[in-house]
Structure formats: structure tokens, C-alpha cells
Amino acid sequence: MLQPTNRLTLIDAMRPPAGFRIESAMAVTFTLDLRALLAAPAAFALTGPDGTVAGSDQLEPIELLHALRSHADKITVFSQAGHIALPPSRRVFAFLEGAVVPVDGPRGGIVHPKVWVLRYESLEASLDGQSHQQRLRVLVASRNLTFDTSWDTVLRLDEHPDTSGVLLEPVGELFESLLDAAVGPVGDAHRQRVDSLAAALRTATFALPDGVDDLRVHVLGLGGPDSPPTGSPLPRDAERSLVFSPFVSDGFFEAVHPHPIDELVAREESLDSLKPTALTNVGTTYAFDDGSAVDFDTAEDEMSPHDPGRPLVGLHAKVFAFEHEGRARLFVGSANATWSAFHTSVEILVELRGSTAALGIDRLCDGNDDEPGLRHWFISYQPPDPPPPLPDPPTLDAARLAIARLPFEGIVEQSGDEWAVTYRSDQPLPTLDGVTVHCWPLASPGNRRSVAEGDSFEERFETSLEALSGFLAFELADCDGVKTEFVVPVKLTGVPEHRDRFLLRTLVGNAERFLRYLLALLDEDSGHMELLDAVERASADAAGDGQGLANLPVLEKLLRTMRRDPTKLASLHPLVSDLAADDALPPGFAELWNAIFDAAIAGAAEEASVR
């Protein structure tokens, strides 16, 4: 089941089914990389009628910019405050400002689930000519919305009209509770989206995965700080058991699950932190070693161990597997084998039940004649002698969370021929002994400045219209040079209405850049580019190529395509039309395009009538 070559990327799992498009989506992640979030609208918008990403091997930055502009406002992403990683400074992140809602655990812990709820609608109207058929999909993962290369799990559940399917109402309740866990006010659009999707989850039925005859959802950590713990859904008795958990703590084995576990697989450094008595009830303990290692450069070497931008490698999947009397119970999701996961943090575990033959431990971990299973990377764990020293208290990380939990606002106003934004919080920055604080708007790192602690926060930055940013970047550094960097989403007020159109025109670039891009699309032998490469190029600032427009045979290419492949013009027409509406095309090009497009469509219709 968990074969090393059975890889499903999160982007693959998000793509709409054949004949459908995205209608709305909500997600929750612990750590968030804004560059990874850029890829979500691309997966939604660039999907063709057959369910594949249209031109996924030929994606260009302008297509991605258009996808962002068109689909970013259909997404709500909840992320743990203080765990939004600092990306490279790019203006394109402005399109994501309204999508991210920082949250904090209501019981003093963290918000740790990794879940997507996606609602698609059919491309064609239903028989009544008004409504569209809709379909839900739920993804429950152990992977954050990042570019980590770690081993993770993703469970995909699709809505199915069969009434014998399973209900996922607790998933909707999780998201409804996140509205109350938000740091600062939540916009009406987010509330309406969450309410609508949660209501749909109360009645929709989902098909069970192969080999699964029962499925239950366990959400942990909801309720206020005085609410009793949810309790562990893990069975106490089992003939055989195995736990995958990258992080472990003494409290899990002593209080949460003080029952026998046959096999435990975890990160070696996490096992090293346990007391010798913690593993008394564990039969065999393994570390997971696939040979991966982080190749840190100098900057990453200075990162705090818990910095949200620090990449994860190796084991990151969380799986609790139990067998009893020929039946298997498999728990997958976000919870580690720690005390906090079952007492203070918000977590999700999906319980899958079926036969041991379908869901058992051997089926889960063993390989076959064609490929090795996960057991290939199990290595017997040997406790260090003497035990390693306890780590220092995470001063920087506590400070990062304290700042990220503050309610910030941003006021935009015109300043001469340019613009200014004032970021403020009525609550003071915490006093941080031996820690220096710097901040800057994400889109303009040249505005970096030192921030005084202990006072109410108010910083004004002079900037340009395209460099306005609803993401405020912070860097904290201690006296030893260790750093942590993160981003805080800030709701901006006073933003001019034409800002998005102006930004799109700036990122698309000059006329030459657009026309060269169009030539590449019309070329029969256009080059290939993978999705993430295109995301990186889309997030880079626009720049001209330095060649004269007179050398670009645009009209010739358009006329040739009109004659040879008018369907290619039809596929490009929505992009060109939207760019024209945003005044992001070279002067006169929209008129030229429409004339050629109309002629191509008329010619294709005439040819079809003759046939």
C-alpha cells in the first residue's frame, strides 16, 4: 500500500475530474510556503476537459498569472500563525493576500491538520440550463503546503451518489471551528465559503477507498482551553500494532497510549529525546533512513530548528496500524505520537477499517518481487550512550509565535506620486531579551528596518503601487546569530481598485515580452516547462528581452495558425480576452486578435457545414 514508487503529488490530487472546474476550496495547513500556494490556482485553472492539466508540459508564466488572478479569490487557506515561511521577495504574492487566514490553537497548542476540501462544478450546464452539477473532494494528508521532499501520506475521498458511501461531517466542523480560531477578523467571503462547504459536507456521501469497508473521522483539540481533552481514538487491545510517527514524546507512551506497541518507526533524533523508560511497552523500535539529507547552505545553517522555512526530509508520515482477529484499523492524518497531539493541538485522524489482507501491517510495509517496501529503510534503533543533552529552550520560536499572534492592520494612502502603507498593531511587541527584530513588506526587501520591542507596533513604508504588500516579513536573530524568518498576513485598507490590473500589467511585462510568449505558444515545436519551473518564473519580476518588435513575426504566425489549427486560437482566446479586459496587452493587439479569431471560427464553421 505504501510502496516507494506509489507517488501522488498534492497538485495531482487537486486537479478537477474530467469535465469539471473548480468552484471553491478551503484548506488548512500547519506550515505554509506561499510559492507552493501559487501552484494551487494553476492546478485548478489549467485543467482541460479530459481532466489533465492543459499544457502541463508547456506552462508559461503569463498563463499562471492569469490563473492566479482568476482563481485565488476562490480559496480559503488556514495556516498556523508564525508558520508561514519567508519566500523570495516577489510582487506576484499580492494575488494571494486575500486567501490566507492565520489561526491559533484554541487550547494553547497548534493548528496541525493538513486538509483540503474542494468543490468542482461541471463545465456544461445541467438540463435545466441554469445550475451546474457539483462534486466534492476531500484530501487528508500528512504533508504541509510546502515543497518538502519528505515521506508523507495523502488520502483522497471523492463524492459519490451512492447512498452507501460515508459522511464527512466532522471535516466541515473542523473548518467551522477554524473561523473562531483566526488571529484577527475574518472576511465575509471566507465565512460564506466555509459555511457553504461545511453545509455540503453534512449531506454528501463519499466513496470508500478500495479495501476499506468503514471509515471514521476523528478531529482532536476543538473547544476552548477549559474543555476536556478529546481523548485517543486508538484501540487499547490489538494482536499486532505498528506506529509511524516522525516525532514522539514521553507523554504519548506514558499517558495517551500506555499499551503494547509491537513496532515503532520514528526519526532518530526524536527517539533520542525520550526517557529510557518511555519505550517499555514497545517491542521493536526503528529509525527511518532513506539516505536523504538536507544540504543546507550558509543561510539555512543559521536557521532555528523550528523555522517554518527549514526543509523536511525523511519520514514525515503519521500512521497508526492495528490488527485484531483478522481485521485491521488504520489511522492516517496529522497527529504524531506525542502528548500534545492528543491533548492541546488541533489534529485530524481518519480511521480506515477493513480486512488484514487489505489493510494489514504486512500489506502496508512489505515489498514484492518488483520493488522493496518501506521496511527496506527501517534500521534498528540503538539509544545513545550517554544520552544527548536536552536542547535549549526555543526562545526564538516562542518569540516568533508571540509576534504572529498579534492582530495587525495595514493602511494604504497616496504619498505624492507614489504610495505608502502603515502597518500597525494596538498590542505591543513582546519584550525579547537578546533578540533583534527586523521587518519589511514582502514585496520590497529594500525597506528592511529594525523594530523596537515592548511598544505598540506602527511602521510606515513608502512604496510603489505594484510593491504594496499584504504580507509583512519578520526576521528575528539572537546573540549567537541564529535566525528565524516568517510572514504575517495583514489585511490592507485603502488599496486603490485598479491595483490588481496595474500589477498584472507590470508582471506580464512589456509588449515584446507578451508577443514573444504568444509566439512560443503558437510555435509547433514550443519548448517544455514543468509546473513548478513555471511558478518560479511567474514569481520573478518582469523584464524585457531587449530585441526589437520589428523582428517578431506575430501576424504571420497568427494567420498560419488560423489556417492550420484554429482550435489552438480557441484555447488561447479566454486568456487573451481577460488580459485585454485588464488592459495588459500591447496597443491595438486586441483588435487584431479579435479579427483573426472571428475569421478562424467562421472558417471552421463553414468547413464543418460542408462536411
Q: What is the pLDDT of residues 127-157, one digit of tens each?
A: 444 556 899 999 999 989 988 888 889 999 9
Global confidence as pTM: 0.85
pLDDT at residue 423 in the model:
97
Higher pLDDT, 284 or 6: 284
DSSP designation for 550: G
pLDDT at residue 602 in the model:
81
Percent of the chain clearing pLDDT 90 (strictly above): 49
Highest mean pLDDT among 327-336, 363-372, 449-458: 327-336
Q: Which three cell numbers stand for residue 177?
A: 471551528
In contact, 513 and 547? CB cutoff 8 Å = no
Classify the phi-psi angles of 337: left when phi > 0, otherwise alpha if psi is within -120 to 50, otherwise beta: beta
Read off the pLDDT of residues 532-574 as tens digits, 9 standing for 90 and up: 454 455 455 444 443 444 445 777 778 877 777 777 787 678 7
pLDDT value at 375 more than 90: no
Contacts of 574 by beta carbon, 8 Å cutoff, 6+ apart: none
Residue burial 521-531, b: 16+ Cβ < 10 Å; e: rest: bbeeeeeebeb
Q: Which amino acid is at 594?
A: N
**Least confident span in 172-186, 205-219, 311-325, 534-548:** 534-548
Please tell me the distance from the alpha carbon of residue 364 to that of residue 360, in angstroms, as a whole number.
6
DSSP designation for 346: B
Q: Which amino acid is at 526?
A: S
Provide the β-strand partners of residue 322. Answer: 241, 329
To which H or E segment does residue 251 belong?
helix 250-251
Q: How confident is the model at residue 61 (pLDDT cuts 50, 70, 90)?
A: low
The C-alpha angle with vertex 163 and arms to 320 and 128, in degrees rounded to 5, equals: 130
Q: Which three cell numbers stand for residue 535?
A: 511558478
Q: What is the 3-state secondary structure (H, E, C) of 398-462?
A: HHHHHHHCCCCEEEEEEECCEEEEEEEEEEECCCCCCEEEEEEECCCHHHCEECCCCCEEEEEEE
Higher pLDDT, 452 or 472: 472
pLDDT value at 353 more than 90: yes
Kindly write down the DSSP assignment for every residue of 489-545, as one continuous string.
E-EEES--TTHHHHHHHHHH-SHHHHHHHHHHHH-TT---B-HHHHHHHHTSPP---
pLDDT value at 316 more than 70: yes
Please tell me the distance from the alpha carbon of residue 96 to that of residue 68, in angstroms, as a whole number.
8
Q: Which three cell numbers stand for residue 540?
A: 520573478
> Which SS3 state, helix, strand or coil, does residue 139 take?
strand
467: closest CA among 428, 429, 495?
Answer: 495
DSSP designation for 92: G
Higher pLDDT, 218 or 290: 218
Q: How confident is the model at residue 41 (pLDDT cuts 50, 70, 90)?
A: confident
pLDDT at residue 447 in the model:
92
pLDDT at residue 488 in the model:
97
Read off the pLDDT of residues 493-521 as tens digits, 9 standing for 90 and up: 999 988 887 887 777 766 666 776 677 66
- Mean pLDDT for the stretch of residues 39-67: 58
DSSP designation for 150: S
Please tell me the distance from the alpha carbon of residue 108 to that of residue 272, in angstroms, as a whole number.
26
pLDDT at residue 4 in the model:
46
The residue to which cell 518507526 is assigned? 265
Provide the β-strand partners of residue 22. Answer: 120
Q: How far is CA 75 from the centre of its chain?
A: 11
Please tell me the distance from the alpha carbon of residue 474 to that of residue 94, in angstroms, as a whole number.
17
Contacts of 563 by beta carbon, 8 Å cutoff, 6+ apart: none
- Mean pLDDT for the stretch of residues 196-205: 97
Please state the φ and ψ torsions of residue 351, each to the nearest 5 degrees. Answer: -95, 120
Q: How confident is the model at residue 529 (pLDDT cuts 50, 70, 90)?
A: very low
Tell me the CATH number for domain 10-219. 3.30.870
DSSP designation for 183: S
The C-alpha R_g of the chain, in whole angstroms, comes to 26
Please tell me the distance from the alpha carbon of residue 366 to that of residue 118, in angstroms, as a whole number.
33
- What contacts 24+ positions apart, CB below 8 Å, involve 264-270? 264/337, 265/315, 265/378, 266/315, 266/337, 266/381, 267/314, 267/315, 268/381, 270/246
**Least confident span in 34-43, 201-210, 225-234, 578-587:** 578-587
pLDDT at residue 39 in the model:
80
Tell me the CATH number for domain 229-380. 3.30.870
**Least confident span in 156-165, 321-330, 549-558:** 549-558
Q: How confident is the model at residue 49 (pLDDT cuts 50, 70, 90)?
A: very low
Higher pLDDT, 580 or 141: 141
Please tell me the distance from the alpha carbon of residue 461 to that of residue 444, in angstroms, as a whole number.
9
Q: Do the bridges between strand 327-333 and strand 240-244 make them parallel or antiparallel, or are there none, so unpaired?
A: unpaired
Higher pLDDT, 523 or 247: 247
Higher pLDDT, 44 or 551: 44
To the nearest 10 degrees (0 to 180), the angle between helices 511-522 and 554-564 is 30
Higher pLDDT, 529 or 131: 131
> Which SS3 state, helix, strand or coil, does residue 210 take?
coil
pLDDT at residue 592 in the model:
86
To which H or E segment does residue 133 belong?
strand 132-141
Please state the φ and ψ torsions of residue 417, each to the nearest 5 degrees. Answer: -85, -5
pLDDT at residue 537 in the model:
52
* Mean pLDDT rounded to a whole number for the chain: 83
Higher pLDDT, 404 or 390: 404
